[in-house]
Amino acid sequence: MACRYEYTEKARMDLNKILNYITVDLANSLATQKFMLKLDEVIEEICLFPKSGKWVENKYLPSNIIRKKLVKIIYIYLMKKKMY
């Protein structure tokens, strides 16, 4: 992978809840694996094409700082972190 990324604590918790729901509540470990593969594909795409994804339009956020990408039926939100 050509870039480095990290999840916020909230994103990690949300991802764990989603995976737990699919694996335990729906008893579908194959769907969990497919979801994780798709998530990895989307992250790789973001790394290769950092300007991909739609800008999030929200009057409470400064413009053009957060993008969103669809993974199956779930949006992931991303923001470029400044490297010092």
Confidence of residue 3 (pLDDT cuts 50, 70, 90): confident
pTM: 0.80
Range of the domain at 51: 9-79
* Sequence-ordered list of residues with C-beta below 8 angstroms from that of 57, at least 6 positions apart, any chain: 63
Count of domains for the chain: 1
Query: From CA 6, how far away is CA 70, in angstroms rounded?
Result: 18
Please indicate, yes or no, if residue 4 is contained in any of the structural domains: no
- Residue 75: phi and psi, rounded to 5, are -85, 140
The answer to the question of residue 66 being in a domain is yes
Q: What is the pLDDT of residues 15-29, one digit of tens each?
A: 999 999 999 999 999
Distance spanning both ends of the chain, measured CA to CA: 21
Residue 1 lies in a domain: no
- In-domain check, residue 68: yes
| Any domain includes 14 | yes
C-beta of residue 77 within 8 angstroms of C-beta of residue 68? yes
User: Tens digit of pLDDT for each residue in 46-73?
Assistant: 888 888 889 998 888 887 888 999 998 8
